[in-house]
Amino acid sequence: MTDFDRTPQAVTPGLAPANGMAIASLVLGIVSVLVVWIPIVGLLGTMMALVGLVLGILGLKKPGGRGLAIGGIVCSGVSLVITLLWALSFLAIIGAVAANAN
């Protein structure tokens, strides 16, 4: 008698390696979309969006987490568009006030 078990064992596939850059990109993108709406704190959200965009682009080049990286890029891009709209509306309001002041 041998000590070895001769019954076939199920082989479990290995998990894909975690892509930390893609995860960080998604988290920063989501947080920046939530924060960018707040007038003064929105600048911090803009910085988070820029960092999230860079991490998402770098995360696309690494194996695993491609969907997370794309999600981070999209969320960061949306946050940057919201920031651009805030800035343009702020400048339009300042221009209207300056035109009415004269």
Q: Is residue 8 a part of any domain in this protein? A: no
Task: With a cut of 60, say whether residue 1 has pLDDT above it.
Answer: no
Q: Which structural domain range is residue 31 located in? A: 20-97
Q: Is residue 10 a part of any domain in this protein? A: no
Overall average pLDDT of the 72-101 stretch? 93
More confident residue, 75 or 17: 75
Q: Is residue 7 a part of any domain in this protein? A: no
Q: Is residue 32 a part of any domain in this protein? A: yes
**What average pLDDT does the structure give for the chain?**
88
Task: Please give the pLDDT value at position 31.
Answer: 96
Task: With a cut of 80, say whether residue 102 has pLDDT above it.
Answer: no
Looking at the structure of the chain, the number of domains it has is 1
Q: Is residue 48 a part of any domain in this protein? A: yes
Q: What string of DSSP letters covers 40-62? A: TTHHHHHHHHHHHHHHHHHHHTS
> Terminal CA-to-CA distance of the chain, rounded, Å?
103
